[in-house]
Structures are given as C-alpha cells and as structure tokens.
Structure 1
Amino acid sequence: MASPGFEIGRPSEFGVELTRLLERCLKESRCVDTESLCIVAGEKVWAIRVDIHALNYEGNLLDAASVAAIAAITHFRRPDVTVSGEEVTVHSPEERDPVPLSVHHMPICCTFAFFTQGKHLLVDPSLVEEKVMDGKMVIGMNKHREICMLQITGEMLLLKEQVLRCSNIAVVKVTEISELILKALENDRVARTSGEKCGFAESVEPKKITSTKTDHQDVEMEEHDSDKMADTSHSSDDDIQIVRPEDSVEVKILDKGLAAIGEGGQNTWEIDEDVATEAMADAAAAATSSSCLQGKGDNQHEVIDLDSGSEEETTMTLSHDDLQTHRPTTTPAQAASQKSADRKGKKKKKK
C-alpha cells in the first residue's frame, strides 16, 4: 500500500532492518517502565505491541515510524486492573478510566544522508535522495541529549567532528518534535474532555481530498574545477574547423584504399607534434615497403634487406612456377611401387 516496491508476505531486508532499529530505539532504551506492566509477579503481565502501517513511502520511513510509535505509546491507555488474592479483575472503560503507560523519555530517530564521501550532509532525505546517497547515519536521541541508538551504513568514512555535528543537529530536531508530540497530546486531551471530535478517524473530513505539496527551493551550488574544465573543453571545440560538402576540397590519394580530404584543423587531442610526425613517417614507410613487395613483374615478390639487424621472422611468397620447379618428379611411395613392378616384370621374363 505504501509503495509498489513492497511485496505482501515475507518482509524484505529493508523491513527487517526497520524493525530492528525501532526495537533498539524503543525497547532497548527502556523508555517504558516495564515494572508498571506487571499484574501478578511471576504470573501475569501486560504485553505491549506496536503495529505501524505506512500509508505513503516517500523516503526516510524510519524517522516517521519512530515518531508515530512513541506518539502511540504515549497516547495509549490500558484498562485498569484490580487484584484481590488470586482473583484478577479487568475493568472496562465505563467502570474506570484507563491508565496511561509510564513513559520515562521519548526517543526519536533522526536520519542524515551523506554524499561525496561525507563532504555534503543532508537531514531527512527523500526517496530520490536515498537512492543516490553514499551512506547514512541514524541517531536515536531524546530531548535530554541522551543517545539511545546509533548506526552508520554505507561505503564512507566519517570523522569525529562530523558525528558531533550530526548529534548537535539531532538534539534540535528531537526537541522540536517532542514539543509537537506533547502539544498534540494536550490538544487531544482537551478535546476528549470537552466532548469535541478527537482521534484520527474523527478528524478526517470525508468530503475533502488532502495532498502534500512543497514549494521549490533554490539551492546555491559552488562552481567546482570540473565545471571549469567542461567550459574549457566546450571553448576548444568551437575552434574546430567544420568542412561543408559544398566547399571545394581536394582529395589526395595516399595509397590503395587510403585518402585524405583537406588539410584538417587545429589539433585538439593534446597529442605531441613529434609523436604525430613519427607516426606519419612510420605509416609512409609501411606504405612504401608494401609497394616494393608487390613488385613490377610476376616473379618479383619480395625485397629483403640483409643489412637490417631485425631478428623477426621473414615470410617468402612463392609463385606457381616456383612450386613447379621445386616440386619432386616422384614421391618415395611412387618410387617403391615402381621398383616392385620392375621386379615382377623381370621374374615373368625369366619364366
């Protein structure tokens, strides 16, 4: 329901991580007095469970879930209980007013997203920002500056100063959110006392469609060296001479299947002129050697330089006439068969 990326059934890795972080933030921090949940020592206790239903996932679900969980725990009321000997009586809300839970403090999660190896910091990332971030740090803290949970994930390294800076930002955010929760709980209590509409279901107007909308904010970005290099590359591209088809250009035939059009423009590939000259000389030498190998006649196929000190292997190309002159008249097998035939002929003559 919250997002098409979530499947029904077995929880995903993200769901398991979210559940464990909430347990560390709420359960292991002992924000609720568990002794007050005891009814009969060693026999009966109250079991508290928090179910979170996400309506729309647009990023940073952990912070929203922690705020909703601690607000639900603080707002929850359990039935009053009377213990008489071994008899336990649970009173209905009509008989006795429900009893609130004993909450020591309100831990709230605050998520920080990091970009470019921790150089840029972002608080409360959205879904798009979570997909491109290098890593994140989650701090669970209450308004008393007590850290209840801390987790760092991602491929990045943070300095001590960065962690302290994030903790100082988290204190401000947690204090503001705690005051909003307490204010909302007080308004709900006043509404229930005066008999006005209260609760989420009663406060929603059925004939209206609510939507979230945020105004676009301009972000000032500093110009980096990479942007300057990109501008320089664009300026160098403007210097390239563009040859149009209608211009009269001379075509030079360099070799078979090789031609050159025009004289070219300014060198923009940052290649040393000496290297380019040597490459052109090597190409011309290769073209000359190939023309020498072809020769003028049919029997001239190779030119061998005996003065060169090269140790590479040479390949000789033989013509059809050379193969006929060097080919033996008879093979060893044919000579043996001829000898055996001559012997048989001599034996017949003797007989």
Structure 2
Amino acid sequence: MPREAEPSLNERQFVLQALQDSIRLDGRELDQYRPLELTFGDQYGVADVTLGKTRVLAKASAELTVPYADRPLDGIFNIATELSPMTSPAFEVNRPTETEVLISRLLEKTVRRSGALDTESLCLVAGQKCWSIRVDVHVLSHDGNLIDAACFAVVAALRHFRKPDTSMEGGVLTVYTPAEREPVPLSWLHSPFCVTWSFFGEEGDIALLDATWMEEQVRSGSCTISLNKHGEICQIAKLGGVPVEAVSLLQCTNVALIKAKDMSSKLDKWLAEDAKRRDKGGLLAELSAENDRVPDI
C-alpha cells in the first residue's frame, strides 16, 4: 500500500517550535477555523463544503425498501464515505484505510446514533415499506480536519434534501413525482457538529482547532467533540495519543460549543439563502406581488 510523504525532521521541528510560540504557519489563532464555505447543488441534497483547502462533497438520496425485521417501525439511514486516490496517494479504491474507517464511525455516532434524523418518520407501512436514506461522502481534497468538514457536509446535505411526497389510500401506497407534488424535507430533530482538537508536545499542553495536514502529522493526539448548538454532547472521541487533563477537556468543550453555534447559524443562513434562490418566481414572489398591489392607507 502506498504511503503519503511524511514531513521531514526539519519541518516537524519548525512547526512544533512555532506552536510553542503560539504561531501557526497560516497565521491563524490556535482556536480559529479556516474559512468555511458551503455550496448547494442544483439537486436537493447535494452539499459542497470547503474548509480551507479541504473539500468534501456529500449527496443524500432516498429509495423505497423493506425495513429491518427487528425495527419494523423505523426507516433506514446509512452514511458511506469514499477517499479516492484523487484525494491522496495514500488512498486506494476499494481498500478502506484507517482514516476512512475512523471518519465513517465518527459520522455514524455523531449523526445517526444521536437521533438527529427521525427514522420513525421514514416508515410508510409498518414492516413492509419505508424510506432508505443514504448519504455518500466524497473527499475531493485533503488538507487536514476531514472529520469536521465531512460532518458539516452530511448535516447540510440532509437538511437540504427533499424526498418524494407519498399518500396511503385503501392500503395502496402512492409515491408522487416532483411534478405532481412538491417534495418534502426530512424530519430533522437537531444538528450535531464535530469539533476536533489537536494536541502537541509530550504532555499535550498545546491545543488547537482545525489542524492542517502538516499539523496533523506532528500532533501528539486528538479529540473530537460532537455536539449541537444547545450544548448537548453526542460523543467525545479520544482515540489514543497523549492523555489530556479533565480541566483542559472542559475548556475544549466550552470552545467547541461556541464553534458549534457559529456553524449552526452559518448553515441556517445558507439554507435560507438557497430556499430564497430556488423560490424565485414562486410562492414568495406571488405573495410579494400581492403585497405590492395593496394600496397604502
């Protein structure tokens, strides 16, 4: 299996020495994210997220299927990740790496197991018909912090997605096309976001947010905190590395809450802008036209 080129000894020492002086190579503060951008596709459920030079594309889709036998009243929700050789020479097709497995598990715990999506609303006929929602995550460019970017892309794609409307009459299930009925959004309960901290030094006394690829290569450990804007923690993943004091972890959690609120407000703004753009000439335009015709009193 090909390996990615590792930083040289001089590069490692330079990065670590700069971090000890609270200096990052790109000039950011230790708790500052790179610019976050989101672009929606022409179809519902396509989210293109850019975090610095890291770029992730998520696409949500739905199909009718049979629910699991042990959960006849729930729909199905899956997340699939793909890291292609286009992202990095270290990744190969159909050969999941440790990074890909880690991202899949963290996204699974953050979004699916936290109950962000109401799977009961996906059930159409108990034990017979349900919606299967699938989100495909494609990493297009890797410059560090794939987990946070991928989580934001998944949440954005699911909140933007619209599934076909259905009706049940006389035991007959009817699925309407977008031309017949307007597609309906998913039943969304809360929006969890991942905030990943990286620790440096032998004792992990230096902590920073949104590490670049170079910073990830020299860090001593990492911790991913998944939470929503209400401060409800979905998971804390500390997978090896140097131990972190409880007080430091609490401080990281407090900062993560601020970042999660910021991500949530940005996503709400981008969703509102996209809805307004898609409704151009639609219902909103009709209402505004009617208001324009009302004479001033």
> C-alpha deviations, 1:192-251, integer Å up to 9, x for none?
01159xxxxxxxxxxxxxxxxxxxxxxxxxxxxxxxxxxxxxxxxxxxxxxxxxxxxxxx
TM-score (norm 2): 0.65
Q: Does 1:15 align with 2:100?
A: yes
1:188 to 274, 283, 288: 274
2:198 counterpart residue number: 113
Give the 3-state SS of the residue equivalent to 2:259 in structure 1: helix
2:114 counterpart residue number: 29
Structure 2 residue runs without a partner (length 5+): 1-85, 283-297
1:241 counterpart residue number: none
2:242 counterpart residue number: 156
Deviation at 1:54, TM superposition (A): 1.1
Q: Would the aligned equivalents of 1:81 and 1:91 in 2 still touch at CA under 8 Å? A: yes
Alignment of 1:251-270 (within 5 A): none
TM-score (norm 1): 0.55
Alpha-carbon separation, structure 1, partners of 2:148 and 2:87: 15
Give the 3-state SS of the residue equivalent to 1:53 in structure 2: strand
Q: Does 1:48 align with 2:133?
A: yes
Alignment of 1:57-76 (within 5 A): 57-76=142-161
2:227 to 130, 141, 158: 141
Decide whether aligned partners of structure 1 residues 18 and 190 sit closer, same or farther in structure 2, where only a CA change above 3 A counts: same
Decide whether aligned partners of structure 1 residues 169 and 49 sit closer, same or farther in structure 2, where only a CA change above 3 A counts: same
Alpha-carbon separation, structure 1, partners of 2:191 and 2:255: 17
Q: Would the aligned equivalents of 2:87 and 2:142 in 1 still touch at CA under 8 Å? A: yes
1:100 counterpart residue number: 185
Whichever structure has more helix as a proportion of its residues is: 1
Structure 1 residue runs without a partner (length 5+): 197-351
> Computing the radius of gyration over CA atoms, which structure comes out larger, 1 or 2?
1
Alpha-carbon separation, structure 2, partners of 1:96 and 1:52: 28
Residue identity over aligned pairs, in percent, reads 45
Deviation at 1:162, TM superposition (A): 0.7
2:258 to 152, 168, 172: 172
Alpha-carbon separation, structure 2, partners of 1:59 and 1:195: 41
Deviation at 1:190, TM superposition (A): 0.3
Q: Would the aligned equivalents of 2:198 and 2:223 in 1 still touch at CA under 8 Å? A: yes
Q: Would the aligned equivalents of 1:134 and 1:154 in 2 still touch at CA under 8 Å? A: no
Alpha-carbon separation, structure 1, partners of 2:159 and 2:87: 25
How many residue pairs are counted as aligned between the two chains?
Answer: 196
Alpha-carbon separation, structure 1, partners of 2:195 and 2:265: 15
Whichever structure has more strand as a proportion of its residues is: 2
Higher relative contact order (CA 8 A, sep 6+): 2
Alpha-carbon separation, structure 1, partners of 2:248 and 2:281: 49
Dislocated runs of 4+, deviation >3 Å: none
Alpha-carbon separation, structure 2, partners of 1:193 and 1:129: 43
Alpha-carbon separation, structure 2, partners of 1:76 and 1:155: 38
1:131 counterpart residue number: 217
